[in-house]
Amino acid sequence: MEPSFYILISTFLISLIAFSGAVILFLKEELLNKILLILVSFAAGALMGSAFLHLIPEAIEKMGLLEEETLLIMFLFLLLGFCTFFILENFLQWHHHHAKEHPEIKSFSYLILISDAIHNFIDGVIIAASFIISFSIGLATFLAVAFHEIPRQLGNFGLLIYSGFKKVKSFIFKFFILACSCFRRHCRFFYLG
């Protein structure tokens, strides 16, 4: 079969996995309020653990970044990323306070949505590229993305609800706008490539 078939099927399945966070929709409000801080902690721990215990050490090892200058540059980019999101969050909070549209929604929720869209886009590119290389690499990549998607979606739903989004509104934002970005990217990838 064509790699495009495998790419479209796997992308569709990954988009369905975005429903895993929708389990929150079926929880009673009192139970959700009890576990909300656990979900927020889970999301923060998963993000920090993935970055500092897996991605950064692997990047250092794979790229042979053992020289002090290259390590400094890499960590400067890491620091730049933290500072950029800090400034962006403060700007959104300042702008949000002046707009007074939804004063109950915290500004970091929009950063979660933006970063999730970027993350889904990159997932789509990685899955497509992997299936183009070979079916076995594509399948392994699909499984890796699928297994990390479930806890990420649960954590992100928890963060959105903690930030002030209602359950249904967080579901609409997460699935229809962001989870489908992975699927849309694959369709464009095929017809352009």
**pLDDT tens digit sequence for 56-104:** 777 777 776 567 777 777 788 888 888 887 787 777 666 555 545 555 7
Nearest to 86 by CA among 107, 55, 113: 107
Mean pLDDT score of the chain: 76
Please check whether residue 171 lies inside any domain of the structure. yes
Q: What is the pLDDT of residue 180?
A: 61
Please check whether residue 155 lies inside any domain of the structure. yes
Please check whether residue 9 lies inside any domain of the structure. no
Nearest to 120 by CA among 173, 52, 190: 173
Average pLDDT on 154-183 reads 76
Please check whether residue 42 lies inside any domain of the structure. yes
Nearest to 175 by CA among 20, 42, 37: 20
Please check whether residue 13 lies inside any domain of the structure. no
Q: What is the pLDDT of residue 191?
A: 47
Please check whether residue 130 lies inside any domain of the structure. yes
pLDDT: is 176 or 31 the higher one?
31
What is the total count of domains within the chain? 1
Containing structural domain, residue 181: 28-192
pLDDT band at 50 (very low <50, low <70, confident <90, very high): confident
